[in-house]
Amino acid sequence: MEQPAVTGPKVRVDIRNVNLAFGATQVLRDISLTVEPGEFFALLGPSGCGKSTLLRLIAGFNQAQSGTVTIDGADITSIPPWRRDIGMVFQNYALWPHMTVAQNVAFGLEERKLPRADIARRTAAALELVGLADYGSRRPNQLSGGQQQRVAVARTIAIEPKVLLLDEPLSNLDAKLRVHMRTELLALQRKLGITTIFVTHDQEEALSISDRVAVLDGGAIQQVGTPMDLFDRPHNRFIASFVGTINLLRGTAQKSAGGVTFESPLIGKVSLATDNPLSGAAEIAFRPHTLSLAAPDSVGATDRIWVTGNIAHREFLGEFVRYRIDAQGTDIVADQPHFGGNVEFVPGSQVRVGISPAQVRLLPA
Amino acid sequence: MTLSMTSRLSPAHAVIALLIAAFLLIFLVVPVITVMYVAFTNSDGSLTLAHFFSFFQLTLMRESFYNSLYVGGMSVLISSIISLPLAYFTMRFQFRGSVLIQTLGVLPLIMPPFVGAAAMQLLFGRSGSVNLILNEYLGFGIPFMEGLNGVIFVEALHYFPFILLNLTVALANIDSAMEESAQNLGASGFRLFRRIVFPLAMPGYLAGAALVFLKVFDDVGTPLVLNVTNILAAQAYFRITSIGIDDPIGYVASVIMVIASLVALWGSTWIMRGKDYATLQRGGSSLAKRKLKPWQAVIAYGWIVLVLIVVLSPHLGILLLSLSKVWSYSIVPDVYTLDNYVTVFRDSSGMMANTLLYCGIAAGLDVVIGTAIAYLILRTKLPGRQWLDFAASAAIAIPGVVLAIGYLRTFRDFQLPFTNEPFTAFWLIIAIAYTVRRLPYALRSCMAALQQMHVSLEEAAENLGANKNRTIYRVVVPLMAGGILAGFVTSFLTAAVELSATIMLVTAQSDAPMSYGIYLYMQSIAGRGPGAALGVIAVVLVGLGTYFSNRMIRNRAAGHAAQMLKTGA
């Protein structure tokens, strides 16, 4: 069976200085972004951050007050949605209940006035691609959530769009199916090579399948980078706490030779190597899984900064145990990998927490 | 999430909006304003309240004013007494035949009250079946049908379904957790109903109660058939038809009727202001229906059976009347015949054809206008679009008599081109009156259909290459079809039994629709048989129409509804 192929070369999407407001509410603030050809790109952020609005802007459903969207250099800002050739998979799939699965998939091809034979062939090919070749005559409401999602994808890729937009495509699926479908989506995207932009509020989803991620908050882009970049080198405290779990500690920074000296009541003075030397009020961030815990009377490794505290709370999460530690009034979360029968600390007991300076990131306060 | 469709202003939208606005202006706003103008001005055009003073100086008018309010209020009260137990018992208790009761409860709506009124006189009047039996065995009678009692009794029996239906929906929409938590905290029985259930169902109840009041206020046929003339609608009708189109008292009566209707509508929303009782939670389990204790069951079933018998008596009465040769001073007719039907089919087939024509035009226009307004309101940002909705919906507060008086006055000097016939004598004006009067029903139906359609269904079509018009043609209209059909049927069927405007606008027998025919027949004792036969035919047609359209809509919509709700989640 023939498969839909991307006819033209892979395209680049450029968003330049986009501002958008609904009435008095500023939803997008000076957004600039480039999505490389063939990239699987995620827009990540909490609800209300503007990520869906940005996606709908690319599809043509929202109009910016200023700024441009270009595809391979061609300005599409004033082109109506139906002439953009940008496929979008809606969060609720938006399958038309009065049409069969095949009619749904054929819709876009019919609107393009293709010959009948081509429509039939490409409809069948798209359904084949998502593994629903035998479901063409069913109605959408006779399908499971996962199948409906595949139909929505088939309907979109049938028109061989230049860009594929996915609006929280997995949010309506149950947890297990979600993990399965995201690998499937990625495999499909790799096979077709379409430049794909994908909106999600689930950081695990974004980190696990995207080539690059843009994190939005309050209508502005906070950071763009590979998943590993975002996790290891967050630019600010929002990114640090939104992507993964993190401990933050306030203090003051002082530029010094080879880096920065950070000082706070809890850990005293400590020298940090940083690519972003700053002075004044600052924060250090460190991940729970980089911490070591030790009994109060033990001798810890000397390359770590040790602080003492009390175990306030303990959560058993299977692969690891998460401790919430009250270190002289400061909350610290520490994750310890769990193996059968290893020593666990009991709530109420004293503990020493070892912070590795190499794993500490300095952030502006 | 903000769902704003591409908001380019389209000239086509503006043109359609202007056409609708012109229609509403000419056939609703201007006639109503004309009525007000006449009521508040002297013949030389200066403003005055003199007409209102002379109105209230007339004993008959004062009496009519009080009577109208009394009949409206009492009808609401009696309707509530009938509806509350029916709704509550069937929705909250394990009840045999709940569906049957809910269905039978709608039955009165398909027969207009003035049709059943004559039969009710024969069943419940001073020498009607019930009182004959009572006198025979117990030695006393009950004045069900004496004077205003008769009007109240008949109106309440016919219009209580408005309360019942709204209340049933409201009860079904109450999140079961609301009641369960009240039970969990110790409330039960009547306290549960009074403190939790009824307050939550209040918006539904008030909407229904306001409708009943409007309907009763508007009805001119029932009082006239029952020979009650001292109420406002009847007085307005008499003043204009007997004294003349220039008599200001008729206009004052009209203005008072409009004000009372507006106050009723405004009052029902005012009481609920700021109280958002949308309590339905999707996916919540439905409330387990409670079991009745034996003694409760006896009372409940007893009440419901009694109500159903009384509710169905106009239908039974009209059927008996249509089959009777002679029926007076007896419990059931003495002699049966099919002659009445023969008479009706011989003499009145023209009226049936007229009804089909007028109501077909009205319902067709209603759904076209309704769909257009719904689309403009919900899917465009056209400035002033809310006014279309407001104007079209306002028609519900304009009694038929008032609208008709407005037409007669506004268009009195307007002649049709070529024939030079006066426009007010042209049959199309009846169809237009129906269109305007039933537009609110069709509009609500179309609005609901478009509202429950998630906007992403249209965006998906645009995204795949369909422009606005193609999207409307391939996605919007097919998905709204159920709602549009429902709107058409409601408009058609309710127009078929419209009498308030009809009675004033029919100028020639040959232009009269069935409803007018029934009314004419009912005027004379001899005509009651054929009138009843025509009534039975109307009821059967309306009933069948309702049944089949419901089935069609249900079959069509059943599949879509699930999907649309899921999509709308």
User: Is residue A7 within 8 Å of residue A158, measured between CB atoms?
Assistant: no
- A210 residue type, one letter: S
User: Is residue B422 within 8 Å of residue B412, measured between CB atoms?
Assistant: yes
Residue B548 has what pLDDT? 76
pLDDT band at A342 (very low <50, low <70, confident <90, very high): low
**CA B123, B125, B129, B135: dihedral to nearest 10 degrees?**
160
- Is pLDDT above 60 for B4? no
Pairs of CB atoms within 8 A across A/B:
104
Residue B105 has what pLDDT? 67
**DSSP codes, B179-200:** HHHHHHTT--HHHHIIIIIHHH
Per the CB < 8 Å rule, is A61 touching B462? yes
What does the pLDDT look like over A195-237, one tens digit per residue? Answer: 999 999 988 889 989 999 999 999 999 999 999 999 988 888 8
Per the CB < 8 Å rule, is B463 touching A107? no
The 3-state DSSP class for residue B141 equals coil
Q: Where are the domains of chain B?
A: 59-337
Contacts of A61 in chain B (CB under 8 A): 4-6, 459, 462
Determine whether A318 is exposed, middle or buried from the number of CB atoms within 10 Å of its CB (0-12, 13-18, 19+): exposed
- In A296-311, which positions are buried (b, 16+ CB within 10 angstroms) versus exposed (e)? eeeeeeeebbbbebbb
Residue B502 half-sphere exposure, CB side, CA atoms within 13 Å?
Answer: 27
CATH number for the A13-237 domain, one of 3.40.50.510, 3.40.50.150, 2.70.98.40, 3.40.50.300?
Answer: 3.40.50.300
Pairing of strands B335-336, A350-355: unpaired
Pairing of strands A305-316, A320-327: antiparallel
- A79 residue type, one letter: I
Contacts of A22 in chain B (CB under 8 A): 2, 4
Residue B285 has what pLDDT? 47
What does the pLDDT look like over B399-441, one tens digit per residue? Answer: 999 999 999 999 888 887 777 778 888 889 999 999 999 999 8
Class of domain A245-364: mainly beta
Q: Which two tokens stand for residue B562?
A: 């699930």
CA dist A145 → A95, A123, B370 (Å): 11, 20, 34
Per the CB < 8 Å rule, is A80 touching B562? no
**Choosing among A51, A77, A88, A96, which should be mutated to test the B contact, i.e. which has the most B CBs within 10 A?**
A96
Alpha-carbon distance of B443 to B435, in angstroms, equals: 11
pTM equals 0.78
**Choosing among B452, B468, B567, which should be mutated to test the A contact, i.e. which has the most A CBs within 10 A?**
B567
> Percentage of residues in chain A with pLDDT exceeding 70?
97
What does the pLDDT look like over B505-560, one tens digit per residue? Answer: 998 888 899 889 888 888 877 788 888 888 888 888 877 877 777 777 666 554 45
Residue B441 has what pLDDT? 87
Q: Which two tokens stand for residue B6?
A: 């591409």
What does the pLDDT look like over B381-404, one tens digit per residue? Answer: 888 888 999 899 889 889 999 999
Q: Report the length, in residues, of chain B.
A: 569
Q: Which two tokens stand for residue A114?
A: 């293709």
Q: Which two tokens stand for residue B459?
A: 């965006």
pLDDT band at B342 (very low <50, low <70, confident <90, very high): confident
What is the arithmetic mean of pLDDT over A239-254? 89
- Which residue from A61, A90, A92 is facing B6, i.e. has the nearest CB? A61
- Is pLDDT above 50 for B565? no
Residue B8 has what pLDDT? 54
Lowest mean pLDDT among A102-106, A121-125, B145-149, B254-258: B145-149
The mean predicted confidence, pLDDT, of chain A is 89
Residue B491 has what pLDDT? 87
The mean predicted confidence, pLDDT, of chain B is 82
Residue B277 has what pLDDT? 58
Nearest residue on chain A to B454, judged by CA atoms?
Answer: A94
pLDDT band at B82 (very low <50, low <70, confident <90, very high): confident
Q: Place domain B59-337 in its CATH homologous superfamily.
A: MetI-like (1.10.3720.10)
pLDDT band at B564 (very low <50, low <70, confident <90, very high): very low
Alpha-carbon distance of A131 to A364, in angstroms, equals: 50
Q: Which helix (H) or strand (E) holds B340?
A: helix B339-347
What is the arithmetic mean of pLDDT over A251-275? 85
Helical ranges in B380-476 per DSSP H: 385-394, 400-410, 428-451, 455-463, 468-471
Alpha-carbon distance of B48 to A194, in angstroms, equals: 76
Residue B493 has what pLDDT? 83
The 3-state DSSP class for residue B324 equals strand
- Is pLDDT above 90 for B352? no
Contacts of A140 in chain B (CB under 8 A): 563
- Is pLDDT above 70 for A82? yes
**Choosing among B5, B464, B469, B473, which should be mutated to test the A contact, i.e. which has the most A CBs within 10 A?**
B464
The reply to whether A96 touches chain B by the CB within 8 Å rule is yes
User: Is residue A283 within 8 Å of residue A365, measured between CB atoms?
Assistant: yes
Q: Find all residues with CB under 8 Å of A65, minimum gap 6, and list them.
A: A19, A20, A21
What is the arithmetic mean of pLDDT over A5-32? 85
Residue of A361, A267, A250 whose CA lies nearest to A309: A267
Residue of A46, A47, A19 whose CA lies nearest to A32: A19
- Is pLDDT above 50 for A177? yes
**Choosing among B3, B5, B6, B463, which should be mutated to test the A contact, i.e. which has the most A CBs within 10 A?**
B463
Residue B104 has what pLDDT? 66
Residue B449 has what pLDDT? 85
The 3-state DSSP class for residue B326 equals strand
- Is pLDDT above 60 for A72? yes
**CA B158, B160, B165, B169: dihedral to nearest 10 degrees?**
180
What is the arithmetic mean of pLDDT over A127-156? 91
User: Is residue A355 within 8 Å of residue A286, measured between CB atoms?
Assistant: yes
Q: Find all residues with CB under 8 Å of A104, minimum gap 6, and list them.
A: A95, A96, A140, A151, A155
Residue of A226, A263, A144, A193 whose CA lies nearest to A4: A193
Alpha-carbon distance of B66 to B232, in angstroms, equals: 9
SS (HEC) of chain A: CCCCCCCCCCCCEEEEEEEEEECCEEEEEEEEEEECCCCEEEEECCCCCCHHHHHHHHHCCCCCCEEEEEECCEECCCCCHHHCCEEEECCCCCCCCCCCHHHHHHHHHHHCCCCHHHHHHHHHHHHHHCCCHHHCCCCHHHCCHHHHHHHHHHHHHCCCCCEEEEECCCCCCCHHHHHHHHHHHHHHHHHHCCEEEEEECCHHHHHHHCCEEEEEECCEEEEEECHHHHHHCCCCHHHHHHCCCCEEEEEEEEEECCEEEEEECCCEEEEECCCCCCCEEEEEEECHHHCEEECCCCCCCCCCEEEEEEEEEEEECCCEEEEEEEECCEEEEEEEECCCCCCCCCCCCEEEEEECHHHCEEEEC
- Which residue from B1, B465, B563 is facing A111, i.e. has the nearest CB? B465
Contacts of B558 in chain A (CB under 8 A): none
Contacts of A95 in chain B (CB under 8 A): 460, 563, 567
What is the arithmetic mean of pLDDT over B237-254? 87
Residue B258 has what pLDDT? 92
- Is pLDDT above 80 for B83? yes
Per the CB < 8 Å rule, is A90 touching B1? no
Give the highest mean pLDDT range of A81-85, B168-172, B344-348: A81-85
Q: Which two tokens stand for residue A82?
A: 């139906």
**DSSP codes, B515-541:** HHHHHHHHHSTTTHHHHHHHHHHHHHH
- In A53-91, which positions are buried (b, 16+ CB within 10 angstroms) versus exposed (e)? bbbbbbbbbbebeebebbbeeeebeeeebbebbbbbbbb
Contacts of B567 in chain A (CB under 8 A): 92-95, 97
Shortest Cα–Cα distance, B567 to chain A (Å): 5
Contacts of B454 in chain A (CB under 8 A): 92, 94
Contacts of A97 in chain B (CB under 8 A): 479, 559-560, 562-564, 567
Q: Where are the domains of chain A?
A: 13-237, 245-364
Q: What is the ipTM of this complex?
A: 0.78
- A316 residue type, one letter: F
- Which residue from B6, B456, B564 is facing A60, i.e. has the nearest CB? B6
- Is pLDDT above 50 for B256? yes
Q: Phi/psi at A215 (nearest 5 deg)?
A: -100, 125
Residue A19 has what pLDDT? 94
